[in-house]
Amino acid sequence: MRYTQLTKRMIIPVVVTLLAFTVGEKPAQAAAMPNDPYFSKQLHLTQIKAVEAWGIVNSNTAIKIAVLDSGVDSSHPDLKDNLLPTINLVQEESASDLNGHGTNVIGILGAKGNNGLGVTGVLWNAKILPIKILDKKGLSSSDRLAAGIRRAVNEGAKVVLMSASAIYYSKALEDAIDFAEDRGVVVVAATGNEGSRVNYPAAFPTVIAVGAVTNSNTIHSRSNFGPEINLVAPGVNVYTTTRGGGYDSMKGTSAAAPQVAGAAALILARNPNMKPLEVRQLLYHSATKLNGVRWDRRTGYGLLNIQKAVMSRLPDDINEPNNTQRTAAAFPMESQIHGTLSDKDKSDWFYTDIPYEGTLELKAEVSVDTQAPLAASVYQDGKPQDTYYLGNKATATIAVKPGKVHIHFQRSAVSSTLRYTITNRFAIAPDRYEPNNSIDQVRPLPPGNNIEIKGNFHTAQDVDWFSYFVRDPGKLYLRVDTDTLRLDPEIKVRKERDKTSGGISLNSSSPTDPLKSLEMNVTPGRYLFQIQNSYPAAVSGEYFFQLNYMPERKDPNEPNDTYRLATKLGDNSLITGTIPSEADNDWFTFSVPKETYVTIRAPYVPPQVKIMMSIYDSRDMKYAIRAEKVFGQDNSIVFEKKLAAGTYYIKLTSTTPFRYDAYRFTLTRQEMYGGFRDIHGHWARNDIGRLTQRGVITVPNTYSFRPDANMTRAEFADMLLRSMKAKKLPIGRVGLNTYKDLDKKHWAYESLLQASQLGIMSGFNGKIEPDRPVNRAEMALMIARAKKINVSRSSSPSYRDVPQSHWAVAAIETLSHYGWLHGYQDGTFKPDRPVKRGEMVTVLAKSFQL
């Protein structure tokens, strides 16, 4: 089907399933297979056991079935013989189906069956009265839908099908449903396709509310659910008629509802005097239970079963067995039950799940004309509360809390059989902030910058007033959400005593998205919030109002708009501030007494903001030495450079002003030593500086030596060969490369090959592994080889973790004897520990006397 967007106070097409029933036990009949060529595509008819039912009854031309929808293609060959003339309530359009939804729905209900053409409906032959209440966009109003129901009843319809629904409550619609019930009309409606609470009119107690299931009898993801749901029927790949004489598949609750309406008509064909209540009861009783329980809030009483409906006897009480609290039957909110009490059945138990604190109203109809023949004892959380005595048309109002409420029905002062029908209605209790219905009763919101309150509209005229005091200029973020689509909160915001503005309204044009949000700039003072439902109705549901106040950030560095007012930065400083206007310039200054490497990082820049950072040398303020556009929050490096001793300035500007968030930059200074920025203060700095001067170590453009990083084989080979060159030791020429992991473009290609050819470094299975770390044992052995030292084991090991059997023990012992290597204070050498770069420099300096 085509899903039509629902707008406020509008009607959308939904899936409605109609159920059929019969009274009395009937013998099994052979299945009646129609000769319609597309019947094989209509899998839903097998799912609801329509084929088996057709052996008993397949048509009903004795009654009118009204379909309130977008009209119908009255010339469709598979429909026209079952149609009455269309009644058009959409004055601005013709009676034709300009949307197509009505033609789809009517085909499922009553396409001519067994006519050798197209598809078949649940009813093979019928008198269907199309009443057009949806326009070409699939939209209508609650008032038009109510008028359609009354017109259908006045035209003599006995079944009314509505594949249209409204999210919001309407008094006119409720009155029309009561009008139909009073005149003996069965009403079937779709629950809706928002995946939320059941829509109206399906939510009214006397309407058969139909949801949709898949071909595997799982609930359709978009099918509405809740305490009002009664039945489900197939709502996926339902093959039916389309405008222009064609056929196609339909989905949703709109496809499910006509199946139930057709079933109701078949029941009335068998039992023309049956009342709507009895039709409903038989449909619920005969449904196939899907979840192992008699009723649940997803599938109601179960899947439509037409075969059982037309073959089963309607029992006196479909809720039996429910004689004990443990076997209590469901009595969902906003629903109707029917039962019988007698000498053989003296006790009926029901339960209702209550979501909020409020009142549960029970309205009784009883068959015995005495003052109060029915006793209703109420239990909350398993504990007895009160007993209410009900006569015909009597009402009991019960205060309830969230949780499970049990109701125990018994006869009171009567001995004859008592039949009763109870309709319940729930009303939510006033929220904790009542009374606050006017500006004179305004409730201050609790203090704080982040506030959330929960409220409701317990009456049709309920308006909630709140206030909040703003201390400093800033921004308010307002957000309202609801736990049901039936609520449509509207918020009006204004500053107290502000006569220059009518305030700001927060509302939404989409009822399928209850979340609404607003942000607004505020100044010191008291702000008023008026919250009300956008349509006048009490709703059993809650709204959640969130207020977040963000004061303007006060820049602690202002005034710093010129370089002469620049904020001085200390060592390793955090640079933070705001740029509230394009004209704002933030200046900072720092000094370096010696040659220093300076790094500026950006841990945080406000989202959607770009900051221009310019660095100036005080010796030439006309031109920036670097200018960078900065954005993002990844702590990236914005600026890094070796600077000479002097004073420098940082200028920050932005074309996207921001005042509620602050940028954060960090400035780090590293004093240069020996050409490097990261060895000042390191224990090996002197050796590193000296070997740099001798050409053993080269300075990269990053000015970083990384003295505590692990030494790789490539780095070791390069440094070792440079040490040998510095001592004018022969190293020979580069020979043939036999290593499969050494490319000629590798930066240490020659050093690795020379180290290998000199017998200093060995490969591994044809690989030289240039990036593998060198450990301390390997370092000892390769330096001994490079120095061509005669190595020998000592009579007793010098280190407790280097036994005589260790492969490098001789080299370790010899180099330790010369004083080139040392162990640790605990008497170990740790031969497998990776060598650090600073450590390697010191060993080379000692061993080669550099």
What secondary structure letter does DSSP report for 485?
A: T
pTM: 0.72
> What amino acid positions are annotated as catalytic residues?
69, 101, 254
pLDDT on residue 6: 28
**What pLDDT score does 28 carry?**
40
Cα-based distances in Å from 208 to 156, 162, 265, 272, 309 = 19, 10, 13, 19, 15
Average pLDDT, the chain: 92
pLDDT of 24 higher than 50? no
Cα distance between residue 612 and residue 627, in whole Å: 7
Q: How confident is the model at residue 23 (pLDDT cuts 50, 70, 90)?
A: very low
Residue 8 has pLDDT above 50, yes or no: no
| DSSP assigned state of 834 | B
Inform me whether the pLDDT recorded for 10 exceeds 90. no
Around Cβ 415, how many Cβ atoms within 10 Å? Answer: 9
CATH says 563-671 is which class?
A: mainly beta
Candidate CATH numbers 1.10.10.10, 3.40.50.200, 3.10.450.50, 3.60.15.30; the one for domain 12-311: 3.40.50.200
Single out the residue of 4, 195, 45 nearest to residue 212, CA to CA: 195
In this structure, the dihedral spanned by the alpha carbons of residues 558, 559, 560 and 566, taken in order and rounded to 10 degrees, is -100
What does the pLDDT look like over 113-172, one tens digit per residue? 999 999 999 999 999 999 999 999 999 999 999 999 999 999 999 999 999 889 999 999
Fill in the DSSP letter of residue 260: H
Per-residue pLDDT, averaged over 326-340, amounts to: 95
Q: What is the DSSP string of 84-140?
A: PPPEE--TTS-SB-SSSHHHHHHHHHHPPPSSSSS---SSSEEEEEEEE-S-TTS--
In angstroms, what CA-CA distances link 796 with 213, 231, 803, 804, 820?
Answer: 85, 92, 9, 8, 19
- Which one has a higher pLDDT value, 377 or 731? 377
329-428 has CATH 2.60.120.380 classification:
yes
Q: What is the pLDDT of residues 175-230, one digit of tens each?
A: 999 999 999 999 999 999 999 999 999 999 999 999 999 999 999 999 999 999 99
Pick the CATH number of 439-551 from 2.60.120.380, 3.40.50.2300, 3.40.50.150, 3.40.50.720: 2.60.120.380
Please determine whether the domains at 12-311 and 439-551 fall in the same fold group of CATH: no
User: What is the per-residue pLDDT for 503?
Assistant: 61
Annotated domain spans of the chain:
12-311, 329-428, 439-551, 563-671, 685-847
pLDDT of residue 733: 87
Strand partners, 358: 400, 428
CA distances from 837 to 674, 704, 756, 774, 786 (A): 15, 12, 21, 10, 18
Please give the backbone phi and psi of residue 769, each rounded to the nearest 5 degrees, phi first.
50, 70
Q: Which of 405, 299, 404, 417 is nearest to 362 (CA)?
A: 405
- The 10s digit of each residue's pLDDT in 815-828 is 999 999 999 999 99
pLDDT over 90 for what percent of the chain? 86
Tell me which of 795-799, 800-804, 819-823 is least confident: 795-799
Q: How confident is the model at residue 796 (pLDDT cuts 50, 70, 90)?
A: confident
- What pLDDT score does 506 carry? 66
- C-alpha radius of gyration, the chain, whole number: 43
Q: Poorest-confidence range of 255-264, 501-510, 669-678?
A: 501-510
**The predicted structure's pLDDT at residue 732:** 86
In this model, does residue 315 exceed pLDDT 60? yes
